[in-house]
Amino acid sequence: MLKLIRILLAPTVFIYYIVIKVRNYMFDKSILPVEKVACRVISIGNLTVGGSGKTPTVLMVSKLLKETGTKVGVLSRGYKRSSKGYLLVSDGKNIFANVDDAGDEILLIAKENKIPAAVCEKRVIGAGKFLNDVNLDVIILDDAYQHRWLYRDLDILLIDQRFLHKVNSLEQSLLPLGNMREPFSSISRADLIIINTKFSDKQPVPSQLLPFFENKNVVWANYVPAGILDVKNEEIFTLKDFEGLKGLVVSGIARPYSFLKILEDNNIDISNKILFKDHKNYDLNDVNDIRKKFYDTNSHFIITTQKDAIKLSKFSVELDDVDIYYLKIEMIIEDQNFEKILINTLNNNKNNNGMLN
C-alpha cells in the first residue's frame, strides 16, 4: 500500500527536488541566516529517512570526545516525544525526563554515556538554552544534516552500506517516491563520511556513485555485539548463552535486518517475532499483545533492541513474569586513526572557539 502511494506521488518528486536545490543554494550563498553559538558544533546526519545508525554513531563520537576530556553534550529534536519546546534531559549526572517527554534515542544516549543531553525542535534556540544550562566545549547535533540554520564546525554524514548498493532502485529516489531527503550531490557538504556496514562485510562504493566521494574523508564502520542485557537489572550475558533457544523478537526500529541477522548468525531462534514501525510508542495494548504472543509461542524469553528496551522498561510491572533482554551493540570504526581524523578535521575546519586536544 505504501509503495502504491509513493508511486502515485511520484510526480511531486521534481517539485521536492527544486525546493531542496533552492533551499541549499540560499544557505550556500548566505541568503538564509546561519546562527553561531559559543562552542564547537558537530552535526551527525544522513541523506535518507531512518535506519542508517545515527544513534550508535552519536554514542561512539560522544564517548570518544568525552574520553579526551572534552565537555560534550547532545542536542536532538526528540522525535515523537510528547513534550514541546526545549527540555534538558540530563546534565551528565542526573536524568530529568522520562522516555515519553524526551524521546527514546536521546534518553538512551544520556543514560549510556552519562553526558548532558537536551531536546528542542528549533536547534538554534535549543543550543543557546543548552549552553545556559550546562558548560560545554562541543554540542553534537543528532540528525541535523538538513538542519542548516545552526552553524556547525564539522558535518559528519552517515551512509548505510546496504542502501548505497541499491543503485537504480526506487529507494534511491527522492521523497516521496524513495527514501532520500537529498540527492547524492549533497555529499559535497560533508566534512567526514562514515559508511556503516553494520554486521555485513565491507564493500567498495558502487562505481556509479564514486564521483560523489572523490576527495572526501571516508571511513568504514561496523557493529559488534557488546552482549545481551537483562532489561530489569542490566545483568550482562553473552550471545552464546542464548544459542539454540527460542525467543520472541520484538523490534520497533526502521530497518531491523541487521538486528535479526546478528541473532540468526548466533543461532538464536528468531522464527517468532513482532516487528513494529520505527519509533514505536508502546502502550498497554501492545504490551498485552507481546505477552500473548510470548505465551502462545512457548518462547523462553523476549529479546529486543536497546532503543525498544528504553521504552518497554516502563512496563516493568506488566512484564514482571517475562524474561526480557536487549541486544547491546557498539559501533567500531575500521580506521584506528579515527580519533585523530575527527579532532584534526574539527580543528582545521572553519574558525570557532579554540582548539580541541
CATH classification at residue 140: 3.40.50.300
Residue 51 has pLDDT above 90, yes or no: no
Confidence grade of residue 44 (pLDDT, cut at 50, 70, 90): very high
Q: Are residues 228 and 211 in the same domain?
A: no
CA 308, distance to chain mean position in Å, is 13
Which range marks the domain in which residue 74 is found? 2-222+332-348
Name the residue among 68, 45, 77, 70 with its Cα closest to residue 58. 45
Confidence grade of residue 220 (pLDDT, cut at 50, 70, 90): very high
State the Cα–Cα distance between residues 107 and 312, nearest whole angstrom: 13
- Average pLDDT rounded to a whole number, residues 182-209: 96
State the Cα–Cα distance between residues 6 and 170, nearest whole angstrom: 10
Q: Let me know: does 101 contact 7? Beta carbons within 8 Å.
A: no
Q: Are residues 31 and 174 in the same domain?
A: yes
State the Cα–Cα distance between residues 345 and 341, nearest whole angstrom: 6
Say what the pLDDT of residue 195 is: 98
Residue 45 has pLDDT above 80, yes or no: yes
The sign one gets for the Cα dihedral 346, 348, 354, 355 is: positive
State the Cα–Cα distance between residues 172 and 163, nearest whole angstrom: 8
The sign one gets for the Cα dihedral 275, 118, 64, 144 is: positive
Q: Are residues 92 and 195 in the same domain?
A: yes
State the Cα–Cα distance between residues 187 and 189, nearest whole angstrom: 5
152-181 pLDDT, tens per residue?
A: 999 999 999 999 999 999 999 999 999 999
12-24 pLDDT, tens per residue?
A: 999 999 999 999 9
Q: Are residues 151 and 27 in the same domain?
A: yes
Report the DSSP beta bridge partners of residue 40.
138
92-107 pLDDT, tens per residue?
A: 999 999 999 999 999 9
Say what the pLDDT of residue 354 is: 57
- Average pLDDT rounded to a whole number, residues 30-42: 97
Q: Are residues 205 and 259 in the same domain?
A: no
Say what the pLDDT of residue 57 is: 98
Give one word for 346, left, alpha or beta, with left for phi > 0 and alpha for psi -120 to 50. alpha
Residue-averaged pLDDT of the chain: 94
277-324 pLDDT, tens per residue?
A: 988 999 999 999 999 999 999 999 999 999 999 999 999 999 999 999
Q: Are residues 27 and 162 in the same domain?
A: yes
Coil vs helix vs strand at 280: coil
